[in-house]
Amino acid sequence: MLNNIIESKNTLLAPYNGLKVTWFDSWHPVIDEALQLLPEMETCPHELFRLLIETHGADQKRITLFTEKGVPVAVAGLRRISRRYRFELVTWIIIPDSIFPTQPGYLMPALEALGVEVIVCWRRMHSPRPSSLLMRDPEELAVYQIQCSTSFEDYWRESGHWNTIKRCRNRCRNFNHVINPPGGVEWTIKNWGPVWDVDPILVDDSILSAKYMENQGQHYTFLLLDGEKPVAGHTFLQHGQDMVWQVTYRDPTYDKFGVGTRLMDIAFHWIAEAGYNSIDLGGRHTYKVRWAPPVGEMSIFTICPEPLFRAKQILKKARSIPGKLSGLGVENREI
């Protein structure tokens, strides 16, 4: 079946590196056949990878099979962002250290062979970020991470956060916390999405992945409760012997209590007592330095083929012309 599929009309020979690329609008038995020959990702087994691809259907998801001399070397799952040729990986944000299943050495060649613009997060990977002539706008971000063997209190005193934590402990003394309660994942992620203007499809995929990993004993949702009412939530994903912060939400009507801070305090101590090595808070937001020191980097970049990149540059310049004319006092009128 595999040989028949890769010779179909949906197959292209990638001009950049010679891989054969076959696009699918929906899951196909040939993808199962290919995945049997590819190593599973550490934090995204093939079963979860398939579930993430199958949600929402062909209008939002695409599957790409890469072969070399008839042998599968990679399978990519893509989520459409907004434009026709712009995608993100179905593992984007949701799962650190997971891009898509591939044979060793074929990840970057497969990304380059896609022929579309795709955004990539290189986080907690087992190898340094590879280079590529098609890589655009690479962004290096500090990662905030703390060892559980260290004294949290000593670090928080040094970072100037200790007084705030003590104040929030006092204000939240009548609140309770629970871990992995029924509906906790859904409450936290569904409320997180609108706050950060997250695409509803990514919200659904995040819930799907979190619940799957929770069933595997590798995902934890911490909730702070006022009686039975959730007022703050944090989610963490186990990665090896570390815990990686994923999603957070707090009810803004409870901000005066510092519920988000109090819940993070609880989560830190629970994680340390559970025997994990470190807590990884990710990057981008510098307030995280109050909780943990910057100890490494993550990268976000896009891979974009040269013709598409040039077309985007031309369009960008064309769109800037009316503004430049206006700045010169020239009216932009239709004629």
pLDDT in 10s for each residue of the chain, 335 residues: 555 544 444 655 555 678 999 999 889 999 999 999 999 998 899 999 999 998 876 578 899 999 999 999 999 999 987 655 688 999 987 888 889 999 999 999 999 999 889 999 888 887 778 888 898 888 888 999 999 999 999 999 999 999 999 999 999 999 999 999 999 999 999 999 999 999 888 999 999 999 999 999 999 999 999 999 999 999 999 999 999 999 999 999 999 999 999 999 999 999 999 999 999 999 888 899 999 999 988 889 999 887 677 777 777 666 665 554 445 454 433 32
Return the SS3 of 12.
Answer: strand
Which fold, 2-133? Answer: Aminopeptidase (3.40.630)
Amino acid at 181: P
Which residues of the chain are in CATH 3.40.630.30 domains?
A: 143-297
CATH class of residue range 143-297: alpha beta
Tell which residue, 240, 256, 202, has the closest CA to residue 87: 202
Q: How remote is the C-alpha of 34 from its chain's centroid?
A: 24
Q: Which residues contact 171 (CB under 8 A, 6 or more apart)?
A: 256, 257, 258, 262
Looking at the chain, list the stretches that DSSP marks H as alpha helix, in order from N- to C-terminal side: 2-5, 29-35, 46-54, 107-113, 152-159, 162-171, 184-195, 200-215, 259-273, 306-327
Which residues are 102's β-sheet partners? 74
What's the pLDDT score for residue 76? 96
Whole-angstrom Cα distance, residue 296 to residue 168?
29
